[in-house]
Amino acid sequence: MSIVIDACVALKWVFDERGTEAAIALLAEELIAPELWLAEASNALWRHVRLGETSSAEALARIDEFANAPVALMSIEPYMRRALQLATQLDHRVYHCLYLALAEHLDTHVITDDRRFFTIGNATGFGARLRLLGE
């Protein structure tokens, strides 16, 4: 079965932080993500550079790691309408809801480390589609 992962999980592949071991263990699974995850992960890398937590050269090396990660990329276009519906229903960001829309379409779940997204999803009836990293 495919598992949808979001960018915050992928970031743990390149930064040693809480949840890194669980994120690395997922690399043995069949992973899938909307192509947006690369832009979202790149933005997080930029933020790490901006805060002085990593260098530009390290960030560029890490984006190369993301590009070579065993994650099947899905076009976002087929899922935008459903993502917008979910975003209005959950009162949450469309780009996060793209992961959820993809998981619905594939009849699987999203693994995230975004506790806010996880909590909102559970409170609004989408708990079966969301799993918190490491749990």
- Would you kindly state where each structural domain of the chain is located, as residue ranges? 2-132
CATH superfamily of 2-132: 5'-nuclease (3.40.50.1010)
Q: What is the mean pLDDT of the chain?
A: 94
> In the chain, which ranges are E strands?
2-5, 30-34, 71-74, 110-112, 130-132
Instruction: Find where tokens 């192509």 sit.
Output: 35
Per-residue pLDDT reduced to its tens digit, 87-133: 999 999 999 999 999 999 999 999 999 999 999 999 999 989 999 99
Q: In the structure, what pLDDT confidence band is assigned to residue 18 with cuts at 50, 70 and 90? A: very high
Structure-derived torsion over alpha carbons of residues 47, 99, 113, 28, reported in degrees to the nearest 10: -110
Tell me the two tokens of residue 48. 């790490």
- What local confidence, expressed as pLDDT, does residue 80 receive? 97
- What local confidence, expressed as pLDDT, does residue 130 receive? 95
Q: In the structure, what pLDDT confidence band is assigned to residue 1 with cuts at 50, 70 and 90? A: confident
DSSP SS3 for 72:
strand
Contact 25, 54 (CB under 8 A): no
Buried residues in 6-40 as b, exposed as e (16+ CB within 10 A): bbbbbbbbbeeeebbebbeebeeeebbbbebbbeb
